[in-house]
Amino acid sequence: MFWTALKRRGSRLLQSLPHDRRKELLSLLCREYIEETKTSMQYRRHAQRMRYPQFRERLLRIAEEEQKHAQWLEKRVTALGGEVPRISFAPEDGWNSWEQLRLDLDEEKRCIWDLEDQLIILDQIDPETAKLLRRILEEEINHRETITDMLIRSDPQAERPV
């Protein structure tokens, strides 16, 4: 339902947006797609190396949500007549679980700042895409809280998990 409506809106937008505006919108969406995909890969990798199984599970759930965000963005790009890029990425490993969570928390913070920035522009260019990014932003804020909670419960001095 949500996507059908977005797609309808997408084709209308395609006709009404000036070429350079559409290019700008597509490059913004592709940038966000790359970030979401990389984040999902990073969290999956870090989850495998988590010391505690319950942390592994929580981080894996967040990784799945990041992947879902990437899929939403890809659908929007396609609806606007664009194509998402291929991504190859080698995530940075932390020295131990605490260090990995610290890297992941930095990632969430950066992502939230970035989305808030993009929303200022998007509200003027395309309110429908802005709505999608707000949905993503809400979940990023939850991720930031979950990762902060795990970080507080972790031991910075713990041995390397693998």
Q: Is 98 helix (H, G, I), strand (E, B) or coil?
A: helix
Considering the complex, state which of residue 104 and residue 126 has its C-beta at the smaller distance from Fe ion.
104
How many of the chain's residues bind Fe ion (CB under 5 A)? 5
> Toward Fe ion, which CB reaches closer, 33 or 98?
33
Closer by beta carbon to Fe ion, 66 or else 126: 66
Backbone phi, then psi, for 25, in 5-degree steps?
Answer: -65, -45
Cα-Cα-Cα-Cα torsion 140, 2, 25, 123, nearest 10 degrees, comes to -70
**Residue closest to Fe ion, measured at CB:** 143
CB of 111 to Fe ion, least distance (A): 6
Interface with Fe ion includes 32 (CB under 5 A)? no
Judge contact between 146 and 58, C-beta under 8 A. yes
143 lies in the site for Fe ion, by CB under 5 A:
yes
Distance CA 96, CA 160 (A): 4
Question: Measured between alpha carbons, how far is 54 from 58 in angstroms, rounded to an integer?
Answer: 6
Q: Which parts of 34-93 interact with Fe ion (CB under 5 A)?
A: 36, 66, 69
Nearer to Fe ion, 138 or 159 (CB): 138
The reply on whether position 140 binds Fe ion by CB under 5 A is yes
Give the shortest CB-104-to-Fe ion separation in angstroms: 9
Q: Report the C-alpha gap between 106 and 102 in whole angstroms.
A: 6
Task: Catalog residues that contact Fe ion under the rule CB under 5 A.
Answer: 36, 66, 69, 140, 143
